[in-house]
Amino acid sequence: MAMTQDEMKRKAAEAAMEYVVADSIVGVGTGSTVNHFIDCLADIKNKIEGAVSSSEASTKLLKAAGIEVFDTNHVSHIPVYIDGADESDHYLNLIKGGGGALTREKIIAGMSDKFVCIADESKLVDILGKFPLPVEVIPMARSYIARELVKLGGEPVWRENYLTDNGCDILDVHNLEIMQPIKLENTINAMPGVVTVGIFANRGADVLILGTPEGAKVVYPK
Ligand code: 5RP
Question: Per the residue annotation, which of 14, 105, 136, 148 is the catalytic one?
Answer: 105
The verdict on pTM exceeding 0.85 is yes
Return the percent helix, strand and coil in the chain, to nearest 5.
Answer: 35, 30, 35
Cα 29 to middle of ligand 1, angstroms: 8
Secondary structure (3-state) at 2: coil
Q: Is the CB of 32 within 6 Å of ligand 1?
A: yes
Q: How far apart are CA 113 and CA 25, in angstroms?
A: 12
Cα 33 to middle of ligand 1, angstroms: 7
Cα 24 to middle of ligand 1, angstroms: 24
Q: Provide the total of helices (H) and of strands (E) in the chain, helices listed first.
A: 6, 13
- Closest Cα partner for 85 from 96, 98, 101, 99? 96
CB of 114 closer than 8 Å to CB of 78: no
Q: Is the CB of 102 within 6 Å of ligand 1?
A: yes
148 is catalytic: no
pLDDT tens for each residue of the chain, 222 residues long: 789 999 999 999 999 999 999 999 999 999 999 999 999 999 999 999 999 999 999 999 999 999 999 999 999 999 999 999 999 999 999 999 999 999 999 999 999 999 999 999 999 999 999 999 999 999 999 999 999 999 999 999 999 999 999 999 999 999 999 999 999 999 999 999 999 999 999 999 999 999 999 999 999 999
Q: How far apart are CA 24 and CA 33, in angstroms?
A: 21
Classify burial at 179, counting beta carbons within 10 Å of its beta carbon; exposed 0-12, middle 13-18, buried 19 or more: exposed
